[in-house]
Amino acid sequence: MMRKTTLALIGVMMASLPGCASYKPVPPAFHAVLNQPYRLDSGDILRVTVFEQEGLTNAYPVDKGGYIAFPLVGSVPARGRTTQQLEQALADQLRGGYLRDPDVTVQIDQYRPFFIMGEVTTGGQYTYVPGMTVQKAIAIAGGFTARAEQESVDITRQVGERILTGRVLTSDPIVPGDTLYIRERWL
């Protein structure tokens, strides 16, 4: 009787293993975003400089709707644009009745945050720094807990209009807005 119960339990465990091993690799678009120009989104803070226009030069946050509130012209869409595209859009709008030949520069003053949760000491929202890797993000969050899986992590990332989740090594880079999930190890 004991032998049959043990065999049945082993059978159930073996049947569940393919689910653990069937995690698909990340799609190519997941890593392709690392080599593309940075796209602005909510949470970014931009330094906009308009040459010889002290009153317009300032830091402007991208709001939750994806816009910046810019003097004279009002709300300007920023979400999904590069800094160069936003420079052009601002110059075009300022040229439309406000300034003759505006010279506009847009720089990222502060990137939107990344998020980390799971088996780290202090999960939460943290400031992104260019060149950040998963390892650096974990260090900022106080390091792994004793139960953490330390080889790979799950990252959820917005790529264009899609939300993708993939499992990556701890040496992989992250981008602003990523959500990192540190899994619990099984052994």
Q: What is the DSSP string of 85-116?
A: HHHHHHHHHHHTTT-SS--EEEEEEEPPPEEE
Over the stretch 17-46, which tens digit does the pLDDT of each residue have? Answer: 444 444 567 778 888 888 899 999 999 999
The type of residue at 63 is: D
Task: Give the span between the Cα atoms of 107 and 66, in whole angstroms.
Answer: 16
- Parallel, antiparallel, or unpaired: how do β-strands 124-126 and 114-118 relate? antiparallel
pLDDT for 4: 55
Residues linked to residue 132 through DSSP beta bridges, in sequence order: none
Total-model pTM? 0.80
Spatial contact of 46 and 78, defined as CB atoms under 8 Å apart? yes
pLDDT for 28: 82
Spatial contact of 144 and 181, defined as CB atoms under 8 Å apart? no
Flag residues of the chain having pLDDT under 50: 7-9, 12-22
pLDDT for 22: 47
Q: Got the DSSP string for 13-33?
A: HHHHHHHHHTPPPPPHHHHHG
pLDDT for 91: 95
